[in-house]
Amino acid sequence: MKIVGAGNHHWLAIKKARLEPQPFWGYEDIGAFLLLAVLLGLILRLLVHLQVISRSAMNNPSVGLQSTVVTLLGAGFYFILRLRHRQPVLRPLGWVVPKVVYIVTAVIVGPSFSAGIAMYLHLRNQFTTPIPIGELLILGLVFGPILEESFFRGCLLPVLALSTGAVPAVIITGVVFAVFHGPVDLAHWATLTATGIAYGWIRLASRSTMAPALMHAAYNLSLCLLTC
**Residue 203 in this model has a pLDDT that exceeds 80:** yes
Please state, rounded to an integer, the average pLDDT across all residues of the chain.
87
What tens digit of pLDDT does each residue of 57-82 get? 888 888 888 999 999 999 999 999 99
DSSP character string of 206-224: HT-SHHHHHHHHHHHHHHH
What tens digit of pLDDT does each residue of 105-146 get? 999 999 998 888 888 777 777 666 666 677 777 888 899 999
* Beta carbons of 91 and 209 less than 8 angstroms apart: no
- Of all residues in the chain, the percent with pLDDT exceeding 70 is 86
Please, which pLDDT band fits residue 18 given cuts at 50, 70 and 90?
Answer: low
Q: Residue 106 half-sphere exposure, CB side, CA atoms within 13 Å? A: 29
Q: Give the separation between CA 89 and CA 86, rounded to whole angstroms.
A: 9
**Residue 171 in this model has a pLDDT that exceeds 60:** yes
Structural domain boundaries in the chain: 8-26+95-227
Please, which pLDDT band fits residue 1 given cuts at 50, 70 and 90?
Answer: very low
**Closest Cα to residue 78, out of 92, 64, 68?**
92
Identify whether 21 is preceded by a cis peptide bond (ω within 30 of 0): yes
**Closest Cα to residue 146, out of 36, 76, 40, 71?**
71
**Closest Cα to residue 219, out of 111, 134, 106, 109?**
111
Phi, psi angle pair for 200, to nearest 5°? -65, -40
Task: Find the range with the poorest average confidence among 14-18, 35-39, 62-66.
Answer: 14-18
Q: What is the pLDDT of residue 6?
A: 45
Q: What is the pLDDT of residue 131?
A: 66
* Beta carbons of 44 and 58 less than 8 angstroms apart: yes
**Residue 85 in this model has a pLDDT that exceeds 90:** yes
Report which of residues 115 and 228 the model is more confident about.
Answer: 115
Q: Give the separation between CA 14 and CA 2, rounded to whole angstroms.
A: 9
**Residue 186 in this model has a pLDDT that exceeds 90:** no
* Beta carbons of 110 and 212 less than 8 angstroms apart: no
- Angle of CA points 148, 221, 159, to nearest 5°: 20
Q: What is the pLDDT of residue 19?
A: 65
**Residue 157 in this model has a pLDDT that exceeds 70:** yes
Q: Give the separation between CA 41 and CA 69, rounded to whole angstroms.
A: 9
Count the neighbouring beta carbons within 10 Å of the beta carbon of residue 122.
12
Q: What is the pLDDT of residue 124?
A: 72
Please, which pLDDT band fits residue 35 given cuts at 50, 70 and 90?
Answer: very high
- Sequence-distant (6+) residues with CB within 8 A of 226 are 114, 115, 118
Phi, psi angle pair for 69, to nearest 5°? -65, -45
